[in-house]
Amino acid sequence: MNKPTNTPQTLAQKLIAKAAGRSHVAVGDIVNCQVDLAMFHDSSGPRRLKPMLEELGAEIWDKSRVVLVMDHYVPERDDDSRRIVRIAREWAVEQKLPHVYDSLGICHVVLPQKGHLKPGMFCVGGDSHSPTGGALGTYMFGVGSTEMLGVVVTGQLWVRVPQTFLMRWNNRLQPGVTAKDMMLHMIGRFGMNGGAYQAIEFCGEAVKALSMQERMTMSNMSAEMGSQVGLIEPDQVTRDWLATTGAKDVQIEGWHTDEGAEAVAHEFDAATLVPQVAAPHSPANTKSVDEFKNTPIQVAYIGACTGAKLEDLRAAAQVLRGQQLPAGVRLMVAPASLQDQAQAESEGVMQTLRQSGAEVLPTSCGACSGYGGSIPDGANVIATTARNFKGRMGSATAQVYLASPYTVAASALRGSISDPREVLA
């Protein structure tokens, strides 16, 4: 049933074919794939996997291919979170898991920073933002706990080979406009399920020009378009970044979409993109920042895997350097990983943020997922997070707007939604 290997294939098809042990797969094929790595966190992992594994009397298929990250319920705030995190810690010891990262940062940022992801891998994560790994040319997507149990026991998983949507961004972004703005724009245009669980591949000059962390922001939020994965062809940027993580045997050759491969293409102009803002209560309610001008803001939040990496912190500091937040505006910053926070400290970025009046929160998923509910009822909130569903951040009456770290910092500074380019100018 395999077609000849010279049939042009997309990057997504090549990655699946490798995992399925085939030379070629066609769109719509349902194939069984060998999983290279499975990642889960304190919320989706041990507390749900442990009882199911015990019920089955089964063992983990390959512990070297499992990564556990404690990021959702840390730091523990109440008895329930203490219980959940304790289950994770005790299970990690009991199972002698070799790769456990406790309170070091958010899983989607920690996993690549610790060198676990490389081009060509097929991975699953117990979290919907697992497509972040696509930024490195890894086929990675989120699964629920029961499906994760299947992977943990068998090391395998079925997948229906998706169609590829090629999102080609021509030209370069203007200063003050980021990967987050590109993503919000695409989600606004195509909708929350516009990706129809297919493979999205981001390409073009503007994408190639992005740093690895900005690429991760794109792949991360491909989840908000309802795609299975958000891939970016690995290149020298990937290679250079991976060299800093200690990842070994990095191969990027061949991991690209062939000329003539079947895909649906969309074109965008990065040069004319302006900062974007998503209004409550959906990331798809995205418009240009001008449309929300003068909307008052009481709370600003720079956090989450998609919005508080080193480069996001630098962007916020660039806006806030030497400035003071006005009375009545609360800016909270929860760095995405300790590594990013330490680097930001050494560069003076954290000092700039603190001096402006920002509060620095522990590195964890925190308020993004409503697990660390510090969002007051009724407040207008602007956040660098991925989702503004009603009630997600813990308050059903909060009005949450999504934007880039530049826009969030500028809006905090002015007390109302603002175009960061005016502040940066």
Partner 1 sequence: MSVHHRVWKVGADVDTDQLAPGAYMKLGILDIAKHCLEGVRPEFAAEVKAGDVLAAGPNFGIGSSREQAADALVKLGVKAVVAPSYGGLYFRNAFNLGLLLLTCKEAEALDEGEQISLDLSTWTVVRANGQRLACDAIPEFLVAMVEAGGLLPQLKLRLQQQRAS
Residues that bind partner 1 (CB under 8 A): 30, 43-44, 52, 55-58, 73, 80-81, 84, 126-128, 130, 141-147, 149-150, 153-154, 158, 191-193, 196-197, 226-228, 282, 369-371, 373, 387, 389-392, 394, 396
Give CA–CA dist 345/135, Å, rounded: 26
Instruction: Look up residue 418 and give its two tokens.
Output: 């603002």
| Nearest distance from C-beta of residue 393 to partner 1, angstroms | 8
Give CA–CA dist 367/373, Å, rounded: 5
Instruction: Look up residue 70 and give its two tokens.
Output: 């404690």
Nearer Cβ to partner 1 (195/405): 195
Nearer Cβ to partner 1 (92/393): 393
Give CA–CA dist 88/374, Å, rounded: 24
Nearer Cβ to partner 1 (197/211): 197
Nearer Cβ to partner 1 (247/368): 368
Nearer Cβ to partner 1 (199/410): 199
Nearer Cβ to partner 1 (307/420): 307
DSSP 36: S
| Nearest distance from C-beta of residue 197 to partner 1, angstroms | 3
Instruction: Look up residue 337 and give its two tokens.
Output: 């990983």
| Nearest distance from C-beta of residue 273 to partner 1, angstroms | 25
- Cα angle: 283, vertex 299, 213; to 5 degrees: 55
Nearer Cβ to partner 1 (158/266): 158
| Nearest distance from C-beta of residue 259 to partner 1, angstroms | 28
Q: What is the largest CA-CA distance in the chain?
A: 67
| Nearest distance from C-beta of residue 228 to partner 1, angstroms | 6
Nearer Cβ to partner 1 (245/385): 385
Sheet holding 37-41, edge to edge: 100-102, 66-70, 37-41, 122-125, 139-142
Question: Which amino acid belongs to residue 33?
Answer: C
| Nearest distance from C-beta of residue 252 to partner 1, angstroms | 27
Which residues are bridge partners to 269 per DSSP? 170
| Nearest distance from C-beta of residue 362 to partner 1, angstroms | 18
Nearer Cβ to partner 1 (273/386): 386
Give CA–CA dist 355/305, Å, rounded: 24
- Output Rg (C-alpha) for the chain, integer angstroms: 21
Burial track 16-51 (b if 16+ CB lie within 10 A, e otherwise): bbbbbebebbebebebebebbbbbbbbbbbbbbbbe
DSSP H helices in 57-116: 79-94, 107-113
H or E element, residue 415? none
| Nearest distance from C-beta of residue 353 to partner 1, angstroms | 27
Give CA–CA dist 274/248, Å, rounded: 39
Nearer Cβ to partner 1 (57/322): 57
DSSP 110: H
Side-chain half-sphere exposure of 53, counting CA atoms within 13 A = 19
Which residues are bridge partners to 399 per DSSP? 380
